[in-house]
Amino acid sequence: MLRLAIQKSGRLSEDSLALIRECGISFISSSYKLKTEATNFPLEILFLRDDDIPGYVQDGVADLGIVGQNVLVEAGYPNLEVEALGFSKCRLSLAVPRAASYDSVESLQGKNIATSYPTILGRYLAGHGVQANLHTISGSVEIAPSIGLAEAICDIVSSGSTLLGNGLREVETVFRSEAVLIAQPNLSAEQTELLEQLRFRMQAVRRAKR
């Protein structure tokens, strides 16, 4: 038996459920249940907040998970990744107010930057020799400059319209992300065999879509 954790409700949920179904796995899902068991594969599905998924898989509470690389790397468990899934593609970008002067990352030296991704951003800035004050906030990061909390932000961007709507312009791509399958490090031999079957099916689903 394998326990797979997926996002309960959010941008990963629909594609995660669709992928499992396209792998030929049947289950009944309802919006208020926190777990369900597949009827034709030894798989139990847990519905969780995406931020909790890497930790649960690292600890073996769940055997597998589907989560964005952004959340996985921020949580500090990049090694859990076993398969890139090709959906929920997005990027983590730095943005500044439209009128602010900006030449390069060095322009952020000594500035206040609001983000939900202090680990990924901190590493990026250190790689460019830039020291900044990171303010970690969990949501509505785009409003930080307009309320005087920060001179720049680092947040998830897909189309850029949210940035535009808040008077911001994107200046650097810090990290590119997509959804990935992750697995706990201590699977049994039988579980490893099931994981390989699952990966084989997932790869076939992706090939069929190309």
Q: Which residues bind Zn ion (CB under 5 A)?
A: 50-51
Site for ligand ATP, rule CB under 6 A = 7, 10-12, 49-51, 68, 70-71, 88, 90, 156, 158, 177
Nearest CA-CA partner of 83 in 209, 208, 204: 204
Cα gap 155→134, rounded to integer Å: 12
Closest CB to ligand ATP among 50 and 63? Answer: 50
Residue nearest to ligand ATP (CB): 68
Helices 189-209/13-22 angle, 10° precision: 100
Cα gap 134→148, rounded to integer Å: 14
Closest CB to ligand ATP among 65 and 68? Answer: 68
User: From residue 165, how far is each of 11, 142, 206 by CA, in Å?
Assistant: 20, 9, 35
Closest CB to ligand ATP among 49 and 128? Answer: 49
**Contact partner at residue 20 from Zn ion, ligand ATP, none, CB < 5 to 8 Å by partner kind:** none
Cα–chain center distance at 177: 7
Cα gap 166→146, rounded to integer Å: 8
Least distance (Å) between residue 49 CB and ligand ATP: 4
Closest CB to ligand ATP among 139 and 148? Answer: 139
**Contact partner at residue 156 from Zn ion, ligand ATP, none, CB < 5 to 8 Å by partner kind:** ligand ATP
**Contact partner at residue 93 from Zn ion, ligand ATP, none, CB < 5 to 8 Å by partner kind:** none
